[in-house]
């Protein structure tokens, strides 16, 4: 059996990268650590050059990372700026601060909407605080609301 005596360097680097994930919880470092462990396992059985080792590590890490985001976390690579949940339209809340045309109000929901219970809002009509309103649109970081009839 012909193996590289330095396979354990890749194993230590892989374990260190996986442990680094505990400090940097982005769930990306783990895939580079697993890529290093893959190279260590391969190197224990097949002698390969250092440049090939680096290429295999990089390829395995990128493939594992892409597989994670493609299969298990679809949508994570998309930007969240301007993104909205279509289920928010139609939600009913209570105005905490009155709203008028060209003035911002504040609407409170019983359950969090897009991560928050209180949202700034705008409306086409004057609506007093304490009235029930329905979300009719999302405009940037503001909710456009209308009085519930």
pTM for the whole thing? 0.50
Task: Assess if residue 1 is contained within a domain.
Answer: no
Task: Name the burial class of residue 147, with classes exposed (0-12), middle (13-18) and buried (19+) by CB atoms within 10 angstroms of its CB.
Answer: middle
Classify each residue of 21-50 as buried b or exposed e, where b means 16 or more C-beta atoms within 10 Å of its C-beta: beeeeeeebbbbbbbbbbbbebbbeeeeee
Position 133 pLDDT exceeds 80: yes
> Does residue 100 share a domain with residue 58?
no
> Does residue 107 share a domain with residue 68?
no
**Dihedral Cα 30, 31, 32, 33, nearest 10 deg:** 50
Domain boundary among 22, 47, 72: 72
Position 81 pLDDT exceeds 50: no
Position 131 pLDDT exceeds 90: yes
Task: Assess if residue 80 is contained within a domain.
Answer: no
Range of the domain at 90: 86-147
Name the region of 90 (left: φ>0; alpha: ψ -120 to 50; beta: rest).
left
């Amino acid at each position: 059996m012909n193996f590289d005596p330095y396979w354990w360097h890749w194993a230590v680097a892989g374990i260190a990268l996986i442990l680094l994930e505990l400090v940097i919880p982005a769930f990306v470092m783990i895939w580079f650590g697993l890529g290093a462990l893959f190279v260590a396992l391969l190197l224990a059985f097949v002698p390969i050059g250092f440049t090939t080792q680096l290429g295999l590590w990089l390829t395995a890490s990128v493939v594992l990372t892409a597989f994670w985001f493609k299969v298990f976390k679809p949508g994570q690579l998309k930007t969240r700026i301007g993104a909205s949940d279509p289920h928010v339209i139609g939600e009913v809340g209570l105005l905490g601060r009155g709203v008028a045309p060209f003035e911002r109000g504040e609407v409170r929901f019983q359950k969090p909407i897009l991560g928050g219970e209180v949202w700034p809002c705008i409306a086409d009509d004057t609506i007093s605080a304490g009235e029930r309103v329905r979300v009719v649109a999302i405009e940037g970081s503001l909710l456009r609301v209308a009085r519930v009839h």
